[in-house]
Amino acid sequence: RTAEAQACKTALAQQECMPSVQTVLAQAGTALTDFTLHDSGHAFRVAERMIEIIPAKVLPRMSAFELSLLLLSAYCHDIGMSPERRKVTSHYEYLLTGAPGDLDEAALGMFQKWLDDEGTDIVPPIAGGSATVEAIRLAQEVVTHYSRSRHNDWSEDWMRTNLSGHGLGNYTNWLDDLVLICRSHHFGYQALCGDEFDPKLVPATNKLVHMRYLACVLRLADVLEFDPERTPDVILRHRDVRPRSLVYWWKDHFVAPAKEGDGYVVHAEPPNAKIHRAIEISLDEVDQEMSLCWRISTEKHFEKASGFRKDLPHTWDVLPRVHRNIRPKGDVYEYVNGAFRPNTQKLLELLSGVQLYGDSLVALRELIQNAFDAVTEQIAYQVLEAKDRGTKVDVTALREMSLVDVQLEKKGADHWLVCTDDGVGMTKEIITQHLLVSGNPRRHQVLALERRCRAAEFAFNRAGQFGIGVLSYFMLADRVEIRTMRSDRPGDADPTGWYFESEGVGSFGELRKERGLTHGTEVRLRLRPDTIGDPKAWYDKVATYLRKGLARVPCSFRFHSDSLESQPVALSPGWTLNEDDLRDWLQDGLAYQVNPAWRSQGEYPEELLPSAKRREREERRERLAAAAEELARTSQWIHEEGVLPNDIGTYRIHLPYFSLCDGESLGFLWVQRRDGLKHIQTIDKGCLFYPRDRVRMSWLGNCVNKLEAKDRVLGRGFDRSPGRRPHSAFAEVDFHSADAGRINVDRNRLVLAGPGVDAVNWLEDRALNMRAQFTMDRPDSVYSYLNSILSRTVAGTQEPHWLQFGDHKAIWDKVSFPMVTSQAFKYRPFPHGQMVRLDEQEVQVLPSVPGVDGAEHYTGYSWATGPIPPDRVVCLRSPMGPACPVWTKMPALGEQDNPNFLKAAFPPKWSQLCGVKLYEYSAGLVVWNPANPLIRTLLDRGFQWPEGTHTGRADPLAIKDQLLDDRDRAAAWILETALSGERDIWDALPERDAAFLPALWKCGLDYDTIHANEIPIVVWVQDFTHSRLEILSPEDWRTIGERDKSIQDYMPTPDPAWCLTVDDPD
């Protein structure tokens, strides 16, 4: 009709314009298989809806430019949903392999930012060494949704690349306006009311382009596009659409909005509740768009425009809501909103309440941790900035100069807790999008900073994880005030600082600009009266909580009060425990071993006791106090500090030892030199205090009280799994990597993953190695043999010393030989004043070194548990049994070439005996008889007892091949089975596999050279409750009880030279 119209028509008809657009939409296809079709059919139907939406009287009066923009926007607004295949595959391959391919730095950065903002915790590559099915599926899903999120940008890229060479008459800015209209279908109300959408005249034509009106027509036409052709069955069958997306494909088959008058009506009869719900959700989106357009039409008035004297022809008559007529097809279901829905107010109360955290002081931890995080960020930016300049930076000095200050302040009748930091501060966006929004993922900026620090090999450990910390403040306070100013270093600072205040969860907070602030944040909490109670008592409670709860701090820290005479808490950067704290741990450990909690239960209050009993208790307390003072005086420490394997945390190990009279010891003995002798004082009932191990676990500096792994609680000490050994170290572990495990929302429970468990075991081995090294470095200490026992380490010593009784005193003195340990007299008085002899030679009797709560001479740490084995087994007639180990000389360490296969001389008359197991000695001392033909055969062939040979209740047939392929393992399994008494498994073997035992015997015990039935395995198991003789052959297992006279056939009374006697010297 006009020159402009003809120019527009000509431009649109050019091959590179509309025909090209239609070709891409028709043939490229929607690249994102989960989403419904955004093809040429969809674009055509959007254009049809536009004509339907625009009032009949308005359409003829619209300019050719407006109609052209509408047509182009209908076809181009979603053309990014059909991106170049290479663009999609490049992202997919990068996600799987980490190879950037065609993606430049900007594209990689944008992709990573999206991954961070979506909370995926993904950093490419995700496939590692090989692309698993799970990795491939994850990559497909991630790239699908990323492409959906970028389709607006990719639509613009396509339009500017393919349409920029075309004109639209005299309309020079038509491409910019088309891009803006296409992008606007994701804009909100404020953006659509902006000046760039105001009506304008195209220069040199006086033709109107009403950008706001066109944008509203596009967004409503797009959201109303329901049609089965958009989700055809044949396409659905050829696409791998996830189940949760299928309902949105199917719902288009059951709904078709129809315009009736000024509004739209939807009639639908869905076949099931899920499709019904999908329809309702889609119509909710339609209502939102209709309501938005209606609001703009009533508030901005499409027909009114600044600079135009007359009303414009653009009017809007589409009502703000669609009329719904949806009912189940055939009444086959009852439609309800079947989704679980939170009560927002109750949920916020839960997130800010003690029920979730368990202790209101956790809010204090959150407050301080947020401040530490802010300081950590600021220091990280300073370090990276210096590295970028190529200059050195003193990180220690930065940490010392940075401060988190917490003050209990009295203001009028109120008490305020004020936390101030000089950290990175917050922007308005951080306040509104993260501080006030619970559960948001960590900010991309923080994650990017972490990656930069990792690349620069700088430790950046920030705790923010759950995004609900600020809500917890209301466990303590009824008002929160925050002042903050963003540092310039991140590059996103606002021109001013900000002040925010709120008076409780669910209340409406106020945010306003504040000038004159320096970078950092001040948080002021007005404490509730029920929180503060007695201010002095509350302050002391908080101070104790901080001292015990902060294991490691990233900067200087101070807690104090402006109105109370209280001791401040001042911490320097790094670990918070010092040697005074460690000595307190030792003294607390001593007190606990002397008075465990269970022992004090049921004790009478002191005021009910007679005066003599009260004096006895007072003397005991004084004695224990003196022992604790001596403990602290003699205590020394060996420290080790480092990084855990795989850099999942840091650690410190503190190994205590004691500088005693004439040497250093791993255990504490109260030693006093008198008359040239080292007298051992009793601490309580016994005399040795051996500190129990403890691990102080923390997560990013905050201590955790509960540690879990593999569905079991590990507790506060080292792992007590079978095979793990006790030790005396105090260890500190601060995990900072998610690879170690996960912290519970209450910040008090740490659930370790595999690397975390491995790290704890590795740490225990480090502590054990420190203990062993201590022993080996001190061979000349008079306590070296005790150290060997405590550390389970073989250390050379020429003149071993041990606890000895005599003349009503206990001394620490050189051991004389021959010697037996007092386990030979278990459950009997120590043989004071009695002469113990072997072959007319006097034998010394060594008592055990009892712990502080042990009173019996045979309890505690026995010489027999040390690295020097007995060299004889002799006969001692006692209630324990006839076998008694004797040390007749001080052997050179290393004489036992097979330490797991101890050998000693037996009485010649006991040659049928292969060995003995003596339970009264170190939970089962096992000694073998080299004069026995079977044992001699093993020794002659060079038998070595293999590591890890344990029978227990394990099925030997499950490891049949391993046993029959290893002679030593086979022999060890037979011998250990004989000692264990596990007859049921043995007796069942001939029924389960008749050939197994003969084959095992032949392999392990040289069946060809020893007649098994003539020379069976015979072992004596000496147990106070059930001593017995076990006799095994491939065909038989017999047990002879201790009262059976037939024992004499195997263990007759030896010659006098092999009998230990106990005589009264008188």
Q: Quick one: three-class SS letters along 170-211?
A: CCCCHHHHHHHHHHHHHCCHHHHCCHHHCCEEECCCCEEECH
CB atoms within 10 A of CB 902: 17
| Of 625, 790, 801, 784, the residue nearest 691 (C-alpha) | 790
- CB neighbour burial string for 255-287, b if at least 16 within 10 angstroms, e if fewer: bebeeeeebbebebebeebbbbbbbbebbeebb
Q: What is the mean pLDDT of residues 270-285?
A: 84
Residue 19 has pLDDT above 70, yes or no: no
Sorting pLDDT into bands at 50, 70 and 90, what band is 980? confident
Contact 235, 41 (CB under 8 A): no
Alpha carbons 742 and 872: distance in angstroms, whole number:
55
| Ranges in the chain annotated CATH 3.30.565.10 | 347-567
Contact 735, 703 (CB under 8 A): no
Alpha carbons 317 and 324: distance in angstroms, whole number:
18
Contact 1001, 974 (CB under 8 A): yes
Residue 205 has pLDDT above 90, yes or no: no
pLDDT of residue 361: 84
Residue 1042 has pLDDT above 80, yes or no: yes
3-state secondary structure 556-567: EEEEEECCCCCC
Residue 981, Ramachandran bin (φ over 0: left; ψ between -120 and 50: alpha; else beta): left
Residue 466 has pLDDT above 50, yes or no: no
Residue 624 has pLDDT above 70, yes or no: yes
Identify the sign of the CA torsion 557, 560, 562, 567.
negative
Contact 1021, 881 (CB under 8 A): no
Distance between first and last Cα of the chain? 142
List, for residues 811-868, the tens digit of each pLDDT value: 999 999 999 999 888 888 888 778 899 988 999 999 999 998 887 888 889 988 887 8
pLDDT of residue 150: 86
Sorting pLDDT into bands at 50, 70 and 90, what band is 16? low
Residue 247 has pLDDT above 60, yes or no: no
Sorting pLDDT into bands at 50, 70 and 90, what band is 1048? very high
Residue 88 has pLDDT above 70, yes or no: yes
And the tokens for 152? Answer: 């607006």
What three-state secondary structure class fits 802? strand
Output the CA angle 417-422-428, nearest 5 degrees.
85
Q: What is the mean pLDDT of residues 983-1011?
A: 84
For tokens 């091949």, the residue is 961
State pTM to two decimals.
Answer: 0.76
CB atoms within 10 A of CB 618: 11
Q: Dihedral (C-alpha) 153, 157, 160, 162: value to the nearest 10 degrees? A: -140
Query: How distant is the alpha carbon of residue 594 from its chain centre?
Result: 36
- Which class is domain 347-567? alpha beta
Phi and psi angles of residue 284, each rounded to the nearest 5 degrees, phi first: -60, -40
List, for residues 647-702, the tens digit of each pLDDT value: 999 999 999 999 999 999 999 999 999 989 999 999 988 999 999 888 899 999 99
| Of 59, 77, 90, the residue nearest 182 (C-alpha) | 77
pLDDT of residue 79: 83
More confident residue, 243 or 947: 947
- CB neighbour burial string for 384-408, b if at least 16 within 10 angstroms, e if fewer: beebeeeeebebeebbeebbbbbbb
Percent over 90 (pLDDT), the chain: 45
Q: Which of 529-538, 795-804, 996-1005 is the least confident region?
A: 795-804
Q: What is the mean pLDDT of the chain?
A: 85
pLDDT of residue 890: 79
Report the DSSP pairing between strands 915-918 and 1017-1022.
Answer: parallel
pLDDT of residue 34: 44
Sorting pLDDT into bands at 50, 70 and 90, what band is 930? very high
pLDDT of residue 853: 83
And the tokens for 232? Answer: 């055809």
What lies within 8 Å, CB to CB, of 243 at 6+ separation is none
Alpha carbons 375 and 381: distance in angstroms, whole number:
10
Sorting pLDDT into bands at 50, 70 and 90, what band is 209? very high
pLDDT of residue 178: 93
Sorting pLDDT into bands at 50, 70 and 90, what band is 347? low
Residue 721 has pLDDT above 60, yes or no: no
pLDDT of residue 227: 59
Residue 94 has pLDDT above 90, yes or no: no
Alpha carbons 603 and 509: distance in angstroms, whole number:
56
And the tokens for 258? Answer: 């129809």
Alpha carbons 52 and 225: distance in angstroms, whole number:
12
| Of 352, 336, 355, 334, the residue nearest 344 (C-alpha) | 352
Residue 948 has pLDDT above 80, yes or no: no
Residue 1053 has pLDDT above 70, yes or no: yes
What lies within 8 Å, CB to CB, of 327 at 6+ separation is 268, 269
